[in-house]
Structure 1
Amino acid sequence: MSAILPPSERLWWKHPLDRVEGIWIAISFIWCMVMFFMMVFWHIYGKQNLATETYKTTPEKFTAQTQAAVDKWTVRTETEQKVPVVAPPEGADVYMIGRLWNWWPILELEKGKTYKLHLTSMDYNHGFSLQPTNINIQVVPGYEHVIKVTPNESGTFSVICNEYCGIGHHEMLGRIYVK
């Protein structure tokens, strides 16, 4: 049998395997099993996957929750758009909305304290990429993504959208301060 010419008999699966074919199938199967068990191993022991919760929500409900948190914990405003800076207490539910083309509001968290960060998008799929850390989540409209966050270093962190969301995608930035 040749790879170029069609087989003389159409029932090719009834032909015996060539030795080299069998070796490559065995190598492929073993490699697939190694990769499968490595994925399970790294998910459990690698500490690289976020444990998130996801709930269905509506834009109106999430906006109301976010606005309530902003009204309660705003400490100042920044930028020419007067974006509120929210400083919630430890253990609080903090909210961020992704919409064309910003992350709202700006958060001010404290180092070593745990918060529940709620994320959603109001319009299109957006990416929540917290730089320079390795937190990366796809934020989908109609769903509320909840992550437990405990900042372990102080500084200013940028929130970048890494899912193309339209003509202003390159301007879709947000900020999180950690004191």
Structure 2
Amino acid sequence: MSAILPPSERLWYKHPIDRVEGTWIVLSLTWCLIMFVMMVGWHVWGNQNLSTETYRTTPEKFMTAAQAMVDKYTVRTEGEQKTPVVAPPPGADVYMLGRLWNFWPILELKKGEKYRLHLTAMDYNHGFSLQPQNINIQMVPGFEHVLTITPNQSGQISIVCNEFCGIGHHTMVGRMYIKD
């Protein structure tokens, strides 16, 4: 028999399935169902996946809200570009945007307090990877992602763009400060 020639019987699916083959099909389907239920269960009961609210927005509208927050809560500036460091009160809506090739502004949050973090990209798709918490969001222009975060360790937290966004992608890093 050759693989080049067509099968002698064209209705191959009408042949009985061998017992071993049937066992593997049942095992595979059972495992797929278990994994599906676990993914849903981990999201609902395991607190493993991030649930985000997503809204349509415009760069102008988001920038207006972010600038209002920066104007109200800026405590200092850092770096050559004089990036504002913003310390909003606990429970506040905080805004951060990604644009070529930085995150703006720098946030200073309190440990153990909840914040609603609003994220968007101003120009191209960017990634928002908060390390070491392992929060990963793809920021898409025209969409505002809102997630509730509660920082649980003090210190400096790195923010990395994990979505290739151009020639300066490797320099697109940001930070948050978590105070006690």
TM-score, length-scaled by structure 2:
0.94
Q: Which runs of 4+ in 1 moved over 6 A?
A: none
Q: Tell me how far 1:90 sits from its aligned partner.
A: 1.4
| Mapping 1:1-179, distance limit 5 Å | 4=3, 6-179=6-179
Q: Tell me how far 1:14 sits from its aligned partner.
A: 1.5
Provide the rounded CA distance (Å) in 1 between the counterparts of 2:37 and 2:154.
36
Provide the rounded CA distance (Å) in 2 between the counterparts of 1:31 and 1:90.
44
What is the root-mean-square deviation of aligned Cα atoms in Å? Answer: 1.4
Provide the rounded CA distance (Å) in 2 between the counterparts of 1:18 and 1:52.
47
Q: 2-11 vs 46-55, which deviates more?
A: 2-11
Q: Tell me how far 1:107 sits from its aligned partner.
A: 0.4
Provide the rounded CA distance (Å) in 1 between the counterparts of 2:123 and 2:116.
23
Please give the per-residue CA displacement for 1:63-120, whole angstroms capped at 9, x wherever unaligned.
1100111111111100001000011111111100101100000001111221110000
Q: 115-124 vs 10-19, which deviates more?
A: 10-19
TM-score, length-scaled by structure 1:
0.94
Please give the per-residue CA displacement for 1:117-157, whole angstroms capped at 9, x wherever unaligned.
00000111111111121211111111000011111211011
Q: Tell me how far 1:3 sits from its aligned partner.
A: 8.7
Provide the rounded CA distance (Å) in 2 between the counterparts of 1:123 and 1:98.
8
Match of 1:36, SS?
A: helix
Which consecutive residues of structure 1, in runs of 5 or more, have no partner in the other structure? none
Provide the rounded CA distance (Å) in 2 between the counterparts of 1:122 and 1:153.
29
Provide the rounded CA distance (Å) in 1 between the counterparts of 2:133 and 2:121.
21
Please give the per-residue CA displacement for 1:31-69, whole angstroms capped at 9, x wherever unaligned.
111111111221122211112110000001001100111
Provide the rounded CA distance (Å) in 1 between the counterparts of 2:9 and 2:172.
60
Match of 1:138, SS?
A: strand
Provide the rounded CA distance (Å) in 2 between the counterparts of 1:54 and 1:66.
17
